[in-house]
Amino acid sequence: MTAHTFQATRAADESMPAGAAYFEASGGDWDEIAREVVGEERIVVNMGPQHPSTHGVLRLMLEIDGETVTEARAGVGYLHTGIEKNMEFRTWTQGTTFCTRMDYLAPFFQEEAFCLATETLLGVTDDVPERASVIRVLMMELNRIASHLVCLGTAGNEMGATTVMTVAFTGREEILRIFEAVTGLRMNHAYIRPGGVAQDVPEGIEDQVRKAVPQIKHYLGQLGDLMLANPIFKARLVGTGSLNLAGCMALGITGPVLRSAGLPYDVRKAFPYSGYETYDFDVPVSENADCYDRVVLRLEECYQSLKIVEQALVRLEQNKGAPTMIADKKIAWPALLAVGADGQGNSLEHIKKIMGTSMEALIHHFKIVTEGFRVPAGQAWQTVEHPRGELGVHVVSDGGTRPYRAHFRDPSFNNLQAVSVMCEGGQVADVVVSVASLDPVLGGVDR
């Protein structure tokens, strides 16, 4: 290193603040001079809240030393929509219209958790028709695959592999077409309702799903070929974003991140709901607890979900024509919806009946749609296995037609606590990979 000299001189002219000093140096290494005179420099970088690699409006505050992250913090709240508070001013059925919009990539899971908790308060859990439960399981497992495909596709795109994204999103389109055929919407469905589902699946949906399954498997296979043996992909992910089992347990991490650390915890197995205990499927786990293992696990979970979908299709064919809404008319949604050429609305036969032949049916329809049904006072806690982990909902009723309180434990919110543990000590580029492996959706985080 070239020798250097430097000295501090007090400000001699009036243009500099009183007591300020400037330095004169000749030769040597400027970095060395800076360290000796002014100490280490803290560089804080804001990644987000509108950075394309933060999975939404997530703000990451990174303190860096060169390319190394010395401190990482997550800033949330930019997408807060007041969904939980709004639910207090809507009927129990209308609540599904709000909660479906929280994690917009997995809407059916919020609907299911909220409706299961409501049914617990009503004491009608065992009265929900079997066909409705089968339809719920079918839609949730297809939704799990669609959500994982977005996770894998966006993560690949953030690392520069645009082909990974196009393949994943093309596969997801197969599923969204099914959602549109069943609910009339591609997302934000409000299809699962307290007591069952809004309407039965349309005629021929089983064939449509069966035609889509080989296509989905084809795209999953392409993703595996593109990613899992790719040396560049493995170099970026293997050993990156490590979070062992002790760390997961301490931070309340669930879902694929927890299972990548070796614990096979899945709510569908631990606390079954909607008849999951009657389906044959496995819970994949791994031991390396890094970003690469989380990709492998999500791909395997997609195959397990397809296994459940195929079983659900058989059951749908076996109970064709069975009811999809609870028999109790004091709870059951009175509208008989039908998807027709003009979109979605009440069936013409139902309109003819309530408008032309039964004043009592018209009055009941009006009252239960506008006022809703009363739910006995109490509280209930319900969990489901969301694509990102354990989703919980705590609902409280004061005996009225609206929730007194509805609070959701969104897995993305808890999982984001791992950002600092996974990123500190690594490279700035690894932050993108680590956050992608958590798969946060900020609509669910901020609610």
Radius of gyration of the chain (CA): 27
Kindly state the helix (H) or strand (E) to which residue 406 belongs, with its residue range: strand 405-409
The answer to whether residue 350 is domain-embedded is no
| Average pLDDT of span 384-413 | 91
The answer to whether residue 429 is domain-embedded is yes
The answer to whether residue 363 is domain-embedded is no
271, 383 in Cβ contact below 8 A? yes
* 220/129 same-domain check: yes
User: Among the listed ranges 101-115, 167-181, 432-446, which one has the minimum average pLDDT value?
Assistant: 432-446
* 27/153 same-domain check: no
Q: Which residue has the higher pLDDT, 311 or 8?
A: 311
The answer to whether residue 57 is domain-embedded is no
User: Among the listed ranges 23-37, 294-308, 316-330, 432-446, which one has the minimum average pLDDT value?
Assistant: 23-37
Check whether 2 has a pLDDT greater than 50: no
Main-chain dihedrals φ then ψ at residue 24, nearest 5 degrees: -110, 130
* 108/18 same-domain check: no
Task: Give percent helix, percent strand, percent coil of the chain, each to the nearest 5.
Answer: 50, 15, 35
| Average pLDDT of span 125-141 | 91
Q: Which residue has the higher pLDDT, 143 or 428?
A: 143
* 166/312 same-domain check: yes
The DSSP code sequence of 360-372 is HHHHHHHHHHHT-
CA 17 and chain centroid, separation:
53
Distances (CA, A) of 329 to 113, 135, 295, 359: 22, 21, 46, 16
CATH of the domain at 169: 1.10.645.10
The answer to whether residue 60 is domain-embedded is no
Whole-number Å distance between alpha carbons of 54 and 45: 14
The answer to whether residue 364 is domain-embedded is no
Residues in the chain: 447
Contacts 24+ apart (CB under 8 A), 326-331: 326/124, 326/127, 326/128, 326/129, 326/195, 326/196, 327/127, 328/124, 328/127, 328/195, 329/364, 330/368, 330/373, 331/122, 331/124, 331/194, 331/195, 331/373
* 203/309 same-domain check: yes
pTM of the model: 0.84
* 108/216 same-domain check: yes
Q: pLDDT (tens digit, 9 = 90+) per residue, 347-397? A: 667 677 777 777 777 777 777 788 888 889 999 999 999 999 999 999 999
Whole-number Å distance between alpha carbons of 91 and 255: 31
* 155/23 same-domain check: no
Whole-number Å distance between alpha carbons of 431 and 419: 8
Whole-number Å distance between alpha carbons of 337 and 213: 27
User: Among the listed ranges 51-60, 205-214, 252-261, 315-324, which one has the minimum average pLDDT value?
Assistant: 51-60
Whole-number Å distance between alpha carbons of 444 and 412: 7
Check whether 52 has a pLDDT greater than 80: no
Q: Which residue has the higher pLDDT, 41 or 409?
A: 409
- The position carrying tokens 């631990």 is 270
Q: Which residues pair with 345 in a beta bridge?
A: 338
295, 228 in Cβ contact below 8 A? yes
Hey, is 293 helix, strand or coil?
A: helix
Number of independent structural domains in the chain = 2
The answer to whether residue 64 is domain-embedded is no
Check whether 136 has a pLDDT greater than 90: yes
Which of the 8 DSSP states describes residue 353? I
What sections of 95-161 are H helices per DSSP?
95-99, 107-122, 130-158
Question: Which pLDDT band holds residue 307 (cuts at 50, 70, 90)?
Answer: very high
* 32/92 same-domain check: no
* 181/93 same-domain check: yes
* 5/89 same-domain check: no
The per-residue pLDDT for 3 is 42
CA 242-386-54 angle, to 5 degrees, is: 50
Whole-number Å distance between alpha carbons of 351 and 100: 27
Whole-number Å distance between alpha carbons of 33 and 140: 61
* 28/125 same-domain check: no
313, 333 in Cβ contact below 8 A? no
Question: Which pLDDT band holds residue 340 (cuts at 50, 70, 90)?
Answer: low
Domain of residue 380 covers 84-331+373-413+424-444
- The position carrying tokens 């009252």 is 367
The answer to whether residue 362 is domain-embedded is no
Main-chain dihedrals φ then ψ at residue 84, nearest 5 degrees: -60, -40
* 31/94 same-domain check: no
